[in-house]
Amino acid sequence: MRILFAGTPEVAVPSLKALVGAGFDVVAVLTRVDAPVGRRKVLTPSPVAVAAEELGLPVLKANRFSPELLAHLGSLDLDAAAIVAYGGIVPAAGLAVPRHGWINLHFSVLPAWRGAAPVQHAVLAGDDVTGATTFRLEEGLDTGPVFGVMTESLGPDATSGEVLERLSHSGAVLLVQTLSGIEAGRVTATPQAGEPTLAPKLTIDDARVDWSQPAVAVRRRVNAVTPEPGAWTTLDGQRVKLGPVTPVRQAEDEAGGAATHGAGADTLRPGALEVVAREVRVGTGTGPVVLGTLQPAGKKMMDALDWARGAATRGELVFE
């Protein structure tokens, strides 16, 4: 099969490499244009562009489907287009170009979590199961008929970054199997069944921790936005980035019940910090959570206990 691959971020790279490794004729790779990165805003090619060039594949860079791009894609005699987190909308004129259409790898079990941030919303909602779906792209938002699905359990401590890393590899296998099945004529797409849920992109505002929420909800929010856009709170009006947290009871169970409580540790008011049994605990709407790492304004990510020892001279510490 003559394949166009469309993708942009790191999570799309395993799929590109898997298609090449499986022997598909990837005639071109479509990715978004170079974007400014870092404080110096250096224009940097996407991870997919870098991988494609290393594989010796022709690279097309575009953020929209211009008439010129559509004409070029039409000249490639494409059997199918595989798309993984490209980051742009394929118009109707583009959908009609490949003979077998555009095959999208989406990191959820559709119709659950249609949209740009399916894994983040699955973690935020506390889902027990996640997975990936291959489906035929159409004009609706992730509404097309399904070719294949894979699932995996979603533990309470998993961050979105960790889940996406795993799904990027297992999903790549699913994508290869789907395209192989289409090529052999043994795979057909079936309509999605069930009530859909939506997964819009999470913003910086969504990543702010509300310490009045229950400990479980605080952990889910932090995990959902780790590593991007990154959980945060404020201390004395300055933003502090946060690493994953663990509810105190879970941390004690994992330590064999060895942790001890300080006076009132279970009744810390929301956002209040206390060092107990060599742990930095933060109050929530229920019990406290254990903070592992944090990044004060203008500094690097560091161990929470080391930071708390240095900040103890400031008196009572309360995240806002």
- SS3 at position 22: coil
Q: How many CB atoms lie within 10 A of CB 13?
A: 22
Is residue 257 predicted with pLDDT exceeding 80? no
Higher pLDDT, 47 or 254: 47
- As given in the structure block, the two tokens for residue 5 are 């691959």
**Domain spanning 205-314 has what CATH number?**
3.10.25.10
Confidence class for position 184, pLDDT limits 50, 70, 90? very high
Residue 232 one-letter amino acid: W
Cα separation, 289 vs 247, whole angstroms: 4
Which residues partner with 303 through β-bridges? 293
Indicate the pTM of the whole model. 0.91
**What is the model's pLDDT at position 290?**
97
Domain 2-184 = CATH 3.40.50.170: yes
Q: Where in the chain is the domain with CATH 3.10.25.10?
A: 205-314
For residue 19, the 8-state DSSP code is H
Is residue 298 predicted with pLDDT exceeding 70? yes
**What is the model's pLDDT at position 39?**
79
Q: What are the backbone dihedrals phi and psi of residue 13, each rounded to the nearest 5 degrees, phi first?
A: -60, -45
Question: What mean pLDDT comes out for the span 289-300?
Answer: 94
Q: Where in the chain is the domain with CATH 3.40.50.170?
A: 2-184
Question: What mean pLDDT comes out for the span 169-186?
Answer: 97
Percent of the chain residues topping a pLDDT of 70: 93
Cα separation, 282 vs 272, whole angstroms: 5
Is residue 261 predicted with pLDDT exceeding 50? no
Exposure of 239 by Cβ count < 10 A (0-12 exposed, 13-18 middle, 19+ buried)? Answer: middle
